[in-house]
Structure 1
Amino acid sequence: MNVAQRVAIVTGGGAGIGSALVARLAREGARVVVADLDAEAARAVSERVNADHPGSTISAGGDVSETAQIQDLIALAESTFGPVDLYFANAGIAGAPRLDASEQEWDLSIDVNLRAHIRAARLLVPRWLGREEGYFVSTASAAGLLTQIGSATYAVTKHAAVAFAEWLSVTYGDRGVRVSCLCPMGVNTRMLTAGEDSGDALGRAATRAVTSAGDVLEPADVADSVLAAIEDERFLILPHEDVLEMYRQKGSDYDRWLRGMRRYQSSLLEQP
């Protein structure tokens, strides 16, 4: 899909990968609703991008895991720019380390990292089927393919996000609905350092697992990978190419891979 003159919604657009996606989309001629729980951050991104590309974005604050908020975003996009062509389900949270994450922490991770995608798709896919065109971009993680040392809530919900994106593509891919799933490793965002700052040994191991496994990319580099995948209408977006080989190794010998992950975790926990 060529994004020029298309209408997009980007959740988690106030920082990190989301803000980079907004800037890249606007540069390519798209019109974008910048959505974020932090309304001021969303407004700042919108104003910065509009300074270079006047009238290309509008911002909105709100919890994009709630159906009513997603409905409001769609209505804002339609009244400002026109029917929504692309939805970037990009908002996400790192989640709590260890198995003793509370029920509330599990619910929050499931709502933000998974149900937000499901709720958006339930609203948009019927519209796209009527037009025989639409694009859903899910931000998951390499943790959705390879799991995550440290955070069960993150690993589980990111696996589920990948599975939901796959299901969307299988079910609707021949009816005009395109789907891509972004699975990066380390990206230079606040989420990257969340584990290091958690005060928990397993949380610190989670951050170190990502930063020691490959290069830490800038959000703009990831946005470039996403736009290239959309142009090619390619499902799996891997800004870190090594993830594909890791995924193949996992699938070829699961038990060996699990033993290796346990050794890797132990080595990270031994670090001061």
Structure 2
Amino acid sequence: MRVAGKVAVVTGGGGGIGAALAAALAGAGARVVVSDVDGAAADRVAAEADAAAGAHVAVGAAADAADATAIAGLIALAEREFGPVDVYCANAGIGPKGGLDATEDEWDRTIDVNVRAHVRAAKLLVPGWLERGEGYFVATASAAGLLTQIGSAAYAVSKHAAVGFAEWLSITYGDRGVRVSCLCPMGVDTDMLRAATTSDDPMGAAAGRSVVEAGSVLQPAEVAESVLAAIDDERFLVLPHPEVLEMYRRKGSDYDRWLRGMRRYQASLLAPES
């Protein structure tokens, strides 16, 4: 799909990857609704896109990306401002630390934002896309959705689920005009990663170190460029860190060996510095 002239919604667009995606889409000729729980940040990103384009190409909105009513509101806002939604970037995500000690509320919120937000958006959008014969769903998952995430059970599980839902969506509707891309980066210079790397919690810090030590830390704009290239190619898996594919292959070729290696790696991250 060529995004020029299309209408897009980007959740979690107030900063990081989402802000970069909104800017890249607008720069490529799309009109964009930028949503974030921080409405002021979303408005700022939209204003920057307008200024760069010298025209009204974006609008900001305060919204909880996991709330079905809020998602419907974003779709309605897009239609009022620009027209029917062609591209939906389910980008909002959270990554709480913790394993079995994570609370029920933390699990519920993580699954809601990282997975069910995608499901709720697709339920609202896919029927219209099928009628029109075209639509594009971009799911922001993570390399953790293909591999795992040391230090955060909820993040690892939810990102696996996000990949699984994106696969299902593509298989079920891909021959009827609905295209799907699934973004699975490793380290990206965002507030979420910075918070993890500076955490005073051992497991939180281990989570951050596991990401930054696994490969290069990319800028959000580099990730957004990879996403737009994947949309142009209508390619499912978006890997800004190409080494993730080799890691994924090694995992699948000998699962037990991979698990042993991950246990050793986690122990090294948690070992006290001498």
Shared fold (TM-score greater than 0.5)?
A: yes
Distance in 2 of aligned mates of 1:211 and 1:140? 17
Q: Is the 8 A contact 1:9 1:87 kept in 2?
A: yes
Query: 2:22 matched to 1:22?
Result: yes
Matches within 5 A, 1:173-184: 173-184=174-185
SS of structure 2 residue aligned to 1:137: strand
Partner of 1:116: 117
Give the 5 Å matches for 1:191-230: 191-230=192-231
Secondary structure of the equivalent of 1:194? helix
Q: Please identify, of 206-215 and 188-197, the stretch whose mean Cα deviation from structure 2 is larger.
A: 188-197
Deviation at 1:96, TM superposition (A): 2.6
- Please report how far the alpha carbon of residue 271 of structure 1 lies from its aligned counterpart in structure 2 after TM superposition: 4.8
Output one character per residue of 1:200-257: Cα deviation in whole Å (capped at 9) or x when no partner: 1111000000000000000000000000000000000000000000000000000000
Partner of 2:47: 47
Q: Secondary structure at the match of 2:196?
A: coil
Percentage of matched positions with identical amino acids: 67
Aligned residues: 272
Partner of 2:172: 171
The whole-number CA distance in structure 1 between the counterparts of 2:272 and 2:230 is 37
Provide the residue aligned with 1:257 in structure 2: 258
Q: Which residue of 2 aligns with 1:105?
A: 106
CA distance in 2, matches of 1:119, 1:198: 32
Q: Give RMSD over aligned pairs.
A: 0.8
In the alignment, the residues of structure 1 paired with residue 59 and residue 135 of structure 2 have an alpha-carbon distance, to the nearest angstrom, of 20
Question: Does the CA-based 8 Å contact 1:94-1:194 persist in structure 2?
Answer: no
Q: TM-score, normalised on structure 2?
A: 0.98
1:98 deviates by 2.3
Aligned to 2:189: 188
Aligned to 1:151: 152
Q: Which residue pairs with 1:73 in the alignment?
A: 74
Conserved 8 A contact 2:16-2:191: yes
- Aligned twin of 1:269: 270
Q: Residues of 1 paired with 2:243 and 2:95: CA distance?
A: 22
- Which residue identity is paired with 1:82? G
CA offset digits 1:84-120 (Å, max 9, x no partner): 0000000000123221100000000000000000000
1:34 corresponding residue in structure 2: 34
Partner letter of residue 194 of structure 1? A
1:167, 1:157 → 2: CA distance?
A: 15
Confirm or deny: 8 A CA contact 1:96 1:105 kept in the other structure: no
What amino acid does structure 1 have at the position aligned with 2:104? E
**The residue matched to 1:226 in structure 2 has which SS?**
helix
